[in-house]
Structure formats: C-alpha cells, structure tokens
Amino acid sequence: MISESGIELRPYFDQFRVQAGNHPGGESMRALFASLGEREQDKALRYFIEDAVQKRPYLDSLCFANLLPRAIQYELYFNEHNRKYPEYAKEDWDCFFDDLLDPDNQSRPKIQEILERNRNNTTIIERYLGPKLVLKKVYPNRGIYIADFGCSLALGVRELELGNGICEVEDKTEDKITERLSKVRLNIVGGVATDREYLEDKVDWVAACSVYFNDIDRLGFLLARHAFTKRNSGIDFHQADMLDLNLVAEPNNQHARDRYQIKKGAYDASMVLTALYQLPDDDVFKALTNLRKATKPGGVVIVQDFFGLEEKSLRNRDIPSIPLESLGIEDRRSIVRYQDFYAGEPYRTLVLRLDKDQRFNRAWEVLRWNHARCESLSAGSDYAIFMEENSRNRLRKAS
C-alpha cells in the first residue's frame, strides 16, 4: 500500500498488528494497537502517518509504533489529566482515534508535533542493574569514575552512584548473580552523564516514555526520584552528542577541574543503554569509537541494547551488524542488531574491554533480558567466561 507521496504504509500497519499480539504493556496498549491495525483503509490515519514520516523520514514503522503511544500517554496524562486510559478496551480506542483523526481535534497537532520532534527518551532504573553487576565484577572494591552516554535524565546512573536499591528482577542465572552482587554498593567516586538533549524542561515527557499504560502509578515515583537524585548526586550532566564528542585532555587526571567536560581516557567504564538501536550501523561504530576514546586503558565499555554477539550465517546474514574485527577485536562474531523487541531475549548486556594501549581487545555477551523493561535476566553466551576471566584478573591483581 503506497501513499500519494510514495511512502510504503503497509509496514506500519503490519507493525501495529504485531504489537497488538505481543506488546508487554498490558491489555490497553495491545487494544490500542489492535484498533490501529484494523484501520489500514482509513484515509485519515494513512494521511496522519504519511504526514509524520514526510517531516521525519527516518521514522520507520518500529520507531513510529514506539513513539505514538508515548505521545498519546503524554497528552492524556499530563495535559488532559485522564487516568482512565489504562482500562480502555479496543472499542474505547476506536472512539479515541475517531476523535483524534478529526482535523479539528485540539490534541491532534500536539501529538503530531511530538511525532515530528521528540525522541523516545526513557529513564528506566531497572536497566542499570546490568551495568551494576558487570562493574561489581570488574571493579569489586576500588573507586571508579564512570561516564553514561545517552543518559536521558541521568536518573539511573545517579541511583547507581548513590547506592540506592534497583528493583529486583527474576534471576535465571545458575549462580544467581543478583543475589550476590545487586545489593552491594559500587564505589563510584565521580563521573559524568551526557545526552545530546537537555531534558530538564521535558521531564514529564521522559516520564511518559518510561512507563507502560499498565504501570502509570510509577509516573509519580519517577518524577520524585529524579528530583531526589539530581539534588543529592555528584554525577554531573553535560549536554553532548556521543557522535561528536569534544574530548579534552586532563592533566594528572584531576576530576575536580572542568567538571562539565568530557575527559579523554579518564573513565574506568563508559556505558550506553538503549540508545544505539536508534542509530544506523555507521553511527553505532562511531559512537563505540568515541566511547573507547573516553575510557581509560584497561577499562570497559558497556553496551546494553537490542544487540547480541553472533557469528554471521545464512540465518542472520541480512541483519544489520558490525564485525568485531572492524573494532580491532580478534573475534569472528559481529554485534548483531535485533529488530523484534519482544521475541526471545533481544535486550542484552555486552562488554568491550580495552587493552593498555586504549584499544578494544575483548568482547563478551554477559546478560540477556526478557525485554527492555528488564523484568528477568539470564546468562549471555559469554557469561561463564566473563565471570571466570574477571575472577582470575582480580586474583592476579591481589597477588
């Protein structure tokens, strides 16, 4: 189905129907997508999608399906003060879209503007359990400096630094890593959080992105936690694009000076969570290169996103990927992008280690999560190797 402007719209309706069947956000979100999926012949909806995509050409079907319910939630919760939509059935959403697609509807231009301008800026504390488990294994005792890229409101990394509890998850690892390490505080002595946008004037939008319809009680919690961590954390925010970092040298590694600069080779760990999947492969490569440059020799870069480590084969040869060898790592596998966010365990924690010359030399897939809300975790393909090698390194350093 081609629109008048030449845009293929069928993938958008296919995506709506997929989300109607497997979205983890509850019955109301699945009903919303079911309503959209049945409107393939609705000229008003086709024009609505076409208009957004014309103004934002990289808004593909998956990004559109992610962004639209967030825009609707933002409008209903914060502007219309509607608290009933988590209970909506398909018939309710049918009526909602009938009204929304009316050219005279007052909410329509607000939602259209979000689709044209906003990113899906989430701040989900549970995601930071992955980096916490990795960092506690790599740096069990000593003080560390960290950098969080694409941090949104910096809530998660500040919770890590303050030692506040991160919500418990179902642990499917054999040795129950969360029971051993999740409640142990990291010794974070400083760091920086960066995002290309300054989001303090969009806190409500970030909150709307961060919860599903079946969990709107958490909206108030997130707003309160953001205010608390911003007031009490020593992690500074710096507006910066990880694709175009202005890395500065720091004499004698004095972190007290130029606190809002991104230091070159100054961080024991640089991490990026749920930001790279929105970028094409060339930009992912550029981002990883910049994170490497910000990380100390011997440090680690943590990538937690819809990526895994796999060897290319007939099964996945057409899936976008980045060969580890292109990053300088002697490993035949590639960083493979997963395009179905809800099938299997597509959200994973990868660790890239640097050598003493500040070059990548090792890669592990450590953890796998049920989805990006991080309700359960299991061992990644390199979990056992990662745990063993970092235990050996710790013993070697102690001796």
- Sorting pLDDT into bands at 50, 70 and 90, what band is 1? low
- Kindly report, residue by residue over 248-261, the tens digit of the pLDDT: 775 444 444 445 56
Q: Which two tokens stand for residue 328?
A: 């300088």
- Kindly report, residue by residue over 98-137, the tens digit of the pLDDT: 999 999 999 999 999 999 999 888 888 889 999 999 999 9
Q: What is the pLDDT of residue 90?
A: 98
Q: What is the pLDDT of residue 256?
A: 43
Q: What is the pLDDT of residue 359?
A: 97
Q: Pick from 117, 152, 178: which residue ends a domain?
A: 117
- Sorting pLDDT into bands at 50, 70 and 90, what band is 399? very low
* 3 domain-assigned: no
- 82-96, 166-180, 344-358: segment of lowest average pLDDT: 166-180
Are residues 150 and 68 part of one domain?
Answer: no
**Which among 12, 111, 123 has a CA at the least distance from the CA of 59?**
12
- Sorting pLDDT into bands at 50, 70 and 90, what band is 87? very high
Are residues 168 and 82 part of one domain?
Answer: no
Are residues 162 and 76 part of one domain?
Answer: no
Contact 253, 265 (CB under 8 A): no
Contact 235, 158 (CB under 8 A): yes
- Sorting pLDDT into bands at 50, 70 and 90, what band is 86? very high
Are residues 221 and 178 part of one domain?
Answer: yes
Q: What is the pLDDT of residue 130?
A: 94
* 1 domain-assigned: no
Q: Pick from 50, 85, 117: which residue ends a domain?
A: 117
- Number of separate domains in the chain: 2
Phi first, then psi, for residue 2 (nearest 5°) are: -100, 135
Are residues 354 and 210 part of one domain?
Answer: yes
Cα angle for residues 206, 207, 212 (degrees, 5° grid): 115
Q: What is the pLDDT of residue 284?
A: 95
Q: Which two tokens stand for residue 210?
A: 């961060």
397 pLDDT higher than 60: no
Across residues 12-24, what is the average pLDDT? Answer: 94
Q: Is 152 helix (H, G, I), strand (E, B) or coil?
A: coil
* 85 domain-assigned: yes
Q: Is 146 helix (H, G, I), strand (E, B) or coil?
A: strand
Q: What is the pLDDT of residue 252?
A: 43
Burial 373-397 (b: 16+ CB within 10 A, else e): bbeebebbbbbeebbeebeeeeeee
* 77 domain-assigned: yes
* 100 domain-assigned: yes
Are residues 185 and 63 part of one domain?
Answer: no
- C-alpha distances (whole Å) from 195 to each of 14, 236, 295 are 32, 11, 17
Are residues 152 and 50 part of one domain?
Answer: no
Q: Is 168 helix (H, G, I), strand (E, B) or coil?
A: coil
Question: What CATH number did the domain enclosing 238 receive?
Answer: 3.40.50
Q: What is the pLDDT of residue 157?
A: 93
**Could you list the residue range(s) of the whole structural domain that residue 148 is in?**
125-398
Within 10 Å of residue 127's Cβ, how many Cβ atoms? 21
Contact 354, 295 (CB under 8 A): yes
**Which among 246, 152, 229, 135 has a CA at the least distance from the CA of 193?**
152
Q: Which two tokens stand for residue 386?
A: 């990662």
Q: What is the pLDDT of residue 121?
A: 86
Across residues 54-76, what is the average pLDDT? Answer: 92
Are residues 67 and 134 part of one domain?
Answer: no
Q: What is the mean pLDDT of the chain?
A: 90
- Kindly report, residue by residue over 197-246, the tens digit of the pLDDT: 888 889 999 999 999 999 999 899 889 999 999 999 999 888 899 999 88
Q: Residues of the chain with pLDDT > 90: what percent?
A: 70
Are residues 57 and 80 part of one domain?
Answer: yes
* 311 domain-assigned: yes
* 260 domain-assigned: yes
Contact 73, 79 (CB under 8 A): no
Q: Pick from 84, 101, 117: which residue ends a domain?
A: 117
Q: What is the pLDDT of residue 181?
A: 79
Q: Which residues contact residue 77 at a Cβ distance below 8 angstroms, ignoring those fewer than 6 apart?
A: 83, 85, 208, 216, 219
- Kindly report, residue by residue over 334-346, the tens digit of the pLDDT: 999 998 888 889 9
Are residues 164 and 24 part of one domain?
Answer: no
* 4 domain-assigned: no
- Kindly report, residue by residue over 258-301, the tens digit of the pLDDT: 455 688 999 999 999 999 988 889 999 999 999 999 999 999 99
Are residues 200 and 143 part of one domain?
Answer: yes
Are residues 329 and 280 part of one domain?
Answer: yes
